[in-house]
Structure 1
């Protein structure tokens, strides 16, 4: 991969990692589902007027929009508003890789590889420490919501695979039209209509800057660059770089919010990250090991 493409991929992972800090800031004093609704409204507008509708069935377009908007990000925003830290949320959301593998095995009959099973084991041990060891803010509810959000991400990954060769950017933009209204209604029901309307009408420059960052930079620009890089250089080269997302998420949260990592929390985060590394790279390591010539031939 050329240096320019590598730097663009790092830029995307930086945007996606820092985005968790932006989410934390945006839901501080504003209903979380309203923030999510505005994010997807801006992701769709005005881009939808310049992109052709993706060549996918309407049910898939709507299903993808609801999965990403309501489940993945709706639940994530609520979890962060309940107290889940930005850094830990950025790490736990990467569990989507394991959920995707499990769903692919169950739905598509894809065989789980030994490195995937080993990676899941390490990551789930880390999750157990986080969930039961009191190493997170917001309680078990916020922890469970983030896991459900990661599961929603995994479901959306399978939906993208069902979309075949459809333009991913067009799919992201057009599907973003689906979730704003349900999210807005959910905000009124969950947080109350008065706070929802007040936040919508009274949001300051900082609030709208955060929403614009999430809608345009994180969603449209991020997914646009990422999809283009995958098309040019292949998923095998580009996708593993997504492991930098929780690195940037943890660092930015530590710098901005002074998020502390006591030993138990640090151990849990390390287990999850090591599990991700084994899941992504373990197959290559095993293949390289098996391809080594016998010891006798190297003498």
Structure 2
């Protein structure tokens, strides 16, 4: 990878890591569903008027908006709102690699190599230790919500694959058009119309910073750079770099909110991420059809 491209990708990982702190800034004060809805509204307009609609059936865009907006980010926002630290939310969202492997094996008969099994075992041991030795940065509800988000990642991949799209960036933009509606409806179902009124009345500068950072540097700039890199380099080189997102998320959580890990958690998080690396890093075994490093490898923001 060219040096300038490597620096550009690392810069995006910094943005994506800090994004988890931006999310926490918003959901600490306001309804997580409405914060997520605002992110997707701002990320969609006005750029959608300059991006040609991808040539796919509308049902795929609607499904993408529901899964990406509510299933992944709506649940991830709830995980932080219900006590999961921003840094640990980023780390545990890497569970999507394991859920993606499960989907690949069950639906597409993709092969799980010995190296991948070793990585899965190491990641699960690290995850278990992180939960057992929590210092309050992992809650039961927070973990349940982030697990739902991780399960939805491969579902998003299934939608993209079946849509047959050749324009992933345009597909993302137009899919996000359908993300805010279910989020707003969920907010109303849980909190009533009064929740909308309260959010409007309490909306402040911190909320604006939160959603603007999520919409523009994180979503539009980050996805634009990432898609360009995907066209230039194999995912086997790019995917391991996404793990830097968790590193920068842990650092930003410490700097902005004073989040810390217990001693055992530092070791277990390292073990967890090392296991994820073993899963997505190219194996010499044949056949090597790894969903974790193929077109299902997600963007962690």
Normalising by structure 2, what TM-score? 0.89
Alpha carbons of 1:286 and 1:57: their partners in 2 closer, same or farther (altered >3 Å)? closer
CA positional deviation for 1:284: 5.4
| Contact 2:14–2:245, Cα closer than 8 Å, also in 1 | yes
Which shifted more, 16-25 or 50-59? 50-59
Instruction: Extract unaligned runs of 5+ from structure 1.
Output: 288-299
| Aligned mates of 2:102, 2:64 — CA distance in 1 | 19
Q: Counterpart of 2:65 in 1: which secondary structure?
A: helix
1:102-131 deviation digits (Å, cap 9, x = unpaired): 111111111111111111111112222234
| Contact 2:169–2:223, Cα closer than 8 Å, also in 1 | yes
Determine if the alignment matches structure 1 residue 200 to structure 2 residue 214: no
1:168-188 deviation digits (Å, cap 9, x = unpaired): 111111011112011011112
Question: Partner of 2:65 in structure 1?
Answer: 65
CA positional deviation for 1:249: 0.7
CA positional deviation for 1:21: 0.5
Alpha carbons of 1:163 and 1:11: their partners in 2 closer, same or farther (altered >3 Å)? farther
CA positional deviation for 1:48: 1.0
CA positional deviation for 1:58: 1.8
CA positional deviation for 1:203: 1.3
| Contact 2:37–2:181, Cα closer than 8 Å, also in 1 | yes
RMSD, aligned α-carbons: 2.0
CA positional deviation for 1:29: 1.4
Structure-to-structure mapping, 1:25-44, within 5 angstroms = 25-44=25-44
Paired residue total: 287
Question: Partner of 1:88 in structure 2?
Answer: 88
Alpha carbons of 1:126 and 1:205: their partners in 2 closer, same or farther (altered >3 Å)? same
| Aligned mates of 1:235, 1:189 — CA distance in 2 | 40
| Contact 1:82–1:138, Cα closer than 8 Å, also in 2 | no
Question: Partner of 1:295 in structure 2?
Answer: none
Question: Partner of 1:175 in structure 2?
Answer: 175
| Contact 1:127–1:272, Cα closer than 8 Å, also in 2 | yes
Which shifted more, 204-213 or 163-172? 163-172
1:54-95 deviation digits (Å, cap 9, x = unpaired): 122222211111111011001111110011000000101111
CA positional deviation for 1:134: 4.1
| Aligned mates of 1:114, 1:282 — CA distance in 2 | 12
Question: Partner of 1:148 in structure 2?
Answer: 148
Alpha carbons of 1:152 and 1:136: their partners in 2 closer, same or farther (altered >3 Å)? farther
| Aligned mates of 2:91, 2:83 — CA distance in 1 | 15
Question: Partner of 1:12 in structure 2?
Answer: 12
